[in-house]
Amino acid sequence: MLYCYISFIRRVLGSYDYALKADSAAIALNPNNGAAYISNGWTYLGMKEYEKAIEAFDAGISLTQNASPKALSENLAARADAKRALKKYKEAIND
């Protein structure tokens, strides 16, 4: 979880390359950590790499189905933002 926090701080500072490194470390340590994939999705969303963001959110959402409703809705909304940026409006609405 520490690497997810590091990634968040790096994103806030605009250091997306370092955020990606932290996300990658978190995923390497525990490939079943949905929060790490969600963090990765937020990083890619900030970088405007929307396809990669969607892939990361897909992986994270599938691993965090038991998360709080608030967390799940935030993750779905973020994935929808990425889809909207790609003009995939019908898919975004379904999120």
CA-to-CA separations, 23 to 44, 45, 50, in angstroms, rounded: 10, 13, 16
Burial class (CB in 10 A: 0-12, 13-18, 19+), 83: buried
The per-residue pLDDT for range 48-61, each reduced to its tens digit, is 999 999 999 999 99
For residues 39 and 7, the answer to whether their CB atoms sit within 8 Å is: yes
pTM for this one?
0.91
The per-residue pLDDT for range 23-43, each reduced to its tens digit, is 999 999 999 999 999 999 999
Give counts: helices (H), strands (E), the chain.
6, 0
